[in-house]
Amino acid sequence: MSRTLNPNELSDALASVAGRIRRSLAVVHNGRRGAGAGVVWRSDGLIVTNNHVIAHGKPRVTLDDGREYPARILAQDTEIDLALLHIEAKDLPAAPIADSRGLRVGQMVMAIGHPWGQRACLTTGIVSGLSQVETRGQRGSAPVIRSDVRLAPGNSGGPLINASGGVVGINTMIVGGDISLAIPSQLVEGFVQQALGELSGAPA
């Protein structure tokens, strides 16, 4: 029989989750207009962020341990606001990726990023909706995760994580000032796999 956590145990558990995911959080500098967040998606130097974060400059990436690298843009998708970067670094602490298809409305989620330049700030909320939004491109629409976590400039490109610390989405924008959107991890992983396939010359 499962045991209910008391408030102190729950608080400690969330702090532990935040500490683990922070190691996989990067600062993505665009070279011109500031910075956003990024997620170490693979240990061999692959970083996922929002396309709008790196759209106007030559990106550089600062890791949680302070190391800074120039980043090469491997792929961009303006329709779903994703970009895949690569830095010349190995054995990075890749974020654990959870399957966003398991999300349910009402579940707790957390966002971590760099709002207004403050490093690795965490906000919590619940999933308020799982829906589709219209996009300008071939897809025509894309799935999104709606939540009530608070976001601000600097959160873009950072992870939305579940209570276990798994990345379920990439935060992308604020709608109406109080509803936050994230790109589901399932869609992000598909974007990464397609990009790597195209780079390797594999058939689509």
Q: Which residues form the catalytic set?
A: 52, 81, 156
Joined together, the tokens standing for residue 78 give 């303006």
* 180 and 151 Cβ atoms separated by less than 8 Å: yes
Q: List the one residue out of 52, 164, 47, 35 whose CA is nearest residue 110.
A: 164
Residue 56 Cα to chain centre, angstroms: 19
For residue 95, what are the CA distances in angstroms to 79, 134, 147, 176, 185? 24, 29, 21, 29, 12
Q: List the one residue out of 66, 104, 72, 70 whose CA is nearest residue 85.
A: 72
Q: State the Cα–Cα distance between residues 138 and 136, nearest whole angstrom.
A: 7
Joined together, the tokens standing for residue 199 give 């780079």
